[in-house]
Amino acid sequence: MTNQDIAAKGQQYVMNTYGRFPVALVRGKGSHVWDANGRQYLDFVAGIAVCLLGHSNQDLNAVLREQSQKLWHVSNLYWIEPQVELAEKLVFQAGMGKAFFCNSGAEANEAAIKLVRKYFYRRKESHRNKIIVFNGSFHGRTLATVAATGQTKYQEGFAPLPEGFAYAEFNDLSSVEQLVDESTCAVMVEPIQGEGGIRPAELGFLKGLREICDQKGLLLVFDEVQCGMGRTGKFFAFQAYGVKPDVITLAKGLGGGFPVGAMLATDKAAGGFAPGDHASTFGGNPLAAAVANRVVDIITEEGFLDQVSKIGNYLFDSLKKVKDGRIVTVRGWGLMLGVEFKAEIKELVEICIQKGLLLVGAGPRVLRFVPPLTVNKSEIDQAVEIFREALKEWNS
Ligand SMILES: Cc1ncc(COP(=O)(O)O)c(C=O)c1O
């Protein structure tokens, strides 16, 4: 089938929840993907910050094949060896106590929302159930995570939403202080807002949140679904800030493209859950856990994350050199970068696709660069060249 055939059938049978480009990607290798018409693209979307090790990574393919011949799925009523190993590796990397596994970022955040509330419930403080979240944030598409998301466009039409979220301003500690009261149980924040436009938290802001949480006895939750798993050049973004949360959520890059999510918590916070409090049929299943184990092993190999920092700086510097009066700023960390424009960038994304470069927006005016962490200099040079050419054709 061609791109056109697949798109036509898709429009007929697939629910209309995405504004899709008229391209069907059928094959990938490293930083490249090919569409159904045989056209090649440089992939700086990587499944939106998911395919950490590029497409068709041989190590991941091998581990998936091997596990698929042993055991696909068993219930979490039994111990799952690769899941236990993955938990050990993640809690070690994070300096946390325990891990819970699920299948997506929204589910990981749902788990975190439930955990922080149950934690206070168990302490006989069930009145403490309000979670402070931030304008511009994105935490997922389930009802609770959409309520936690500080962007009304994701909430419209879904009322009544779960209660118990209060919205503060990102990078503004006083707005948090004003919202904290005796009903507050936690603060939940992305160290780098992803969908909100690749906006890094200021160091003082995260430090200040930690202090407020310590003073008031609140739990601090970092949503690292997009910025975790090496994307910033550190395993976790919080390590770049030196501010440790009580709960961390992960998904996207964790499985390198295999669906898996996780919530990590300190032993103390993890004590909020007891058997029966939370569950997920597929969470941390043998296939997902086997692949994620390998992802963790690879990104913790000596030098891997340093290379992410270096290549990220190279991309940042290359983007900074692009001179165009419509660019407001370039920002981000490692290989999680955004170029903010004065105008909306939808057409610019389309021109890049036509020229063989996949990019995606982060909000209406920010062009996001989240290639595989294995991207090389020459691929970055090619991408930036296509970006420059696209800017010449873009009439905004
Ligand atoms: C920071 C953050 N949290 C949560 C999510 C939701 O993840 P998922 O789409 O896997 O449910 C996303 C997805 O973009 C995200 O960027």
Domains of the chain: 3-56+305-393 (3.90.1150.10), 59-299 (3.40.640.10)
**Rounded CA gap, 187 and 221, in Å?**
6
CB of 224 within 6 A of ligand 1: the answer is: no
CB of 190 within 6 A of ligand 1: the answer is: yes
CB of 226 within 6 A of ligand 1: the answer is: yes
CB of 251 within 6 A of ligand 1: the answer is: yes
Q: What is the pLDDT of residue 50?
A: 98
Average pLDDT over residues 134-155: 98
Average pLDDT over residues 117-143: 98
Q: What is the DSSP letter of 34?
A: E
CB of 195 within 6 A of ligand 1: the answer is: yes
- Of ligand 1's listed atoms, the one at least distance from the Cα of 137 is 1
Site to substitute for ligand 1 among 226, 254, 282, 368, most atoms within 8 A of C-beta: 226
* 68-82 confidence digits (pLDDT tens): 999 999 999 999 999
Please tell me the residue having the least CA distance from ligand 1 atom 8: 105
Mean pLDDT of the residues in the chain: 98
Average pLDDT over residues 81-93: 98
**Rounded CA gap, 323 and 319, in Å?**
9
Q: What is the pLDDT of residue 372?
A: 98
Average pLDDT over residues 142-159: 98
CB of 110 within 6 A of ligand 1: the answer is: no
Mention every residue, 6+ apart, whose C-beta is less than 8 A from residue 28: 34, 43, 51, 54, 55, 56
CB of 149 within 6 A of ligand 1: the answer is: no
* Cα pseudo-dihedral 167, 170, 174, 180, rounded to 10: 40
Query: Residue written as tokens 């798109």?
Result: 7
> What's the length of the chain?
396
Q: CA triplet 272, 146, 252: central angle to 5 degrees?
A: 75
**Rounded CA gap, 165 and 131, in Å?**
5
CA 241 vs. chain centroid, Å, equals: 17
Mention every residue, 6+ apart, whose C-beta is less than 8 A from residue 95: 244
Nearest to 217 by CA among 185, 254, 176, 256: 185
CB of 136 within 6 A of ligand 1: the answer is: no
Average pLDDT over residues 49-67: 98
* 21-49 confidence digits (pLDDT tens): 999 999 999 999 999 999 999 999 999 99
Identify whether the C-beta of residue 288 lies closer than 8 Å to the C-beta of residue 282: yes
* 332-369 confidence digits (pLDDT tens): 999 999 999 999 999 999 999 999 999 999 999 999 99
How remote is the CA of residue 46 from the centroid of ligand 1, in Å? Answer: 14
How remote is the CA of residue 306 from the centroid of ligand 1, in Å? Answer: 25
Which ranges constitute the DSSP H helices of the chain? Answer: 3-13, 46-49, 58-70, 81-94, 105-122, 143-148, 173-179, 203-216, 237-241, 267-270, 286-299, 304-320, 346-354, 377-393
How remote is the CA of residue 77 from the centroid of ligand 1, in Å? Answer: 27
* 192-244 confidence digits (pLDDT tens): 999 999 999 999 999 999 999 999 999 999 999 999 999 999 999 999 999 99
Nearest to 43 by CA among 346, 375, 342: 375
CA distances from 285 to 41, 74, 123, 281 (A): 32, 7, 32, 8
- pTM of this prediction exceeds 0.95: yes
Give helix then strand counts, H and E, for the chain. Answer: 14, 17
Identify whether the C-beta of residue 36 lies closer than 8 Å to the C-beta of residue 243: no
Nearest to 154 by CA among 140, 133, 134: 140
Q: What is the token pair recorded at 100?
A: 């819970």
- Is 396's pLDDT higher than 90? no
Strand partners, 101: 262
Q: What is the token pair recorded at 377?
A: 């200099």
CB of 237 within 6 A of ligand 1: the answer is: no
* 161-201 confidence digits (pLDDT tens): 999 999 999 999 999 999 999 999 999 999 999 999 999 99
**Rounded CA gap, 250 and 263, in Å?**
6
Nearest to 349 by CA among 380, 391, 292: 391
- Of ligand 1's listed atoms, the one at least distance from the Cα of 195 is 16
How remote is the CA of residue 140 from the centroid of ligand 1, in Å? Answer: 5
* 268-313 confidence digits (pLDDT tens): 999 999 999 999 999 999 999 999 999 999 999 999 999 999 999 9
- Of ligand 1's listed atoms, the one at least distance from the Cα of 193 is 1
**Rounded CA gap, 61 and 69, in Å?**
13
- Is 329's pLDDT higher than 90? yes
